[in-house]
Amino acid sequence: MGRPLTQAEKWRAHRKAFELALELGITPREAEAKLRQIEARERHRAGSDRLAAKMNAPLRTSADESCRSDSQPWMMRD
């Protein structure tokens, strides 16, 4: 998975969960679960965006290859 959290990172995560719990009126454990759901959703969205960018990338055509100065295959050059 990932690297272990430092003590400061653990306290930051705890504070974030506690503040969310106070804001929503839920327990800190429920807030931690909600934060994990939000982070998973963000990771999924980022992955979907990367996949969409890859799928919508322009394709190379043979016209791109014909613009090169030497049109011989790599094994025939010298």
Extract the tokens encoding 55.
């799928």
Tell me the pLDDT tens digit for each residue of 1-55.
578 889 999 999 999 999 999 999 999 999 999 999 999 999 999 999 999 999 9
| 13 falls within a domain | yes
| 24 falls within a domain | yes
| 69 falls within a domain | no
Domain enclosing residue 42, as ranges? 1-56
User: Is the model's pTM score more than 0.85?
Assistant: no
| 37 falls within a domain | yes
| 74 falls within a domain | no
The domain total for the chain is 1
Place of tokens 């996949």: 51
Helix ranges (DSSP H) in the chain: 7-24, 28-55, 62-66
| 71 falls within a domain | no
Cβ-contact 29, 35 below 8 angstroms = no
- What is the pLDDT, as a whole number, of residue 71? 67
Place of tokens 């043979």: 62
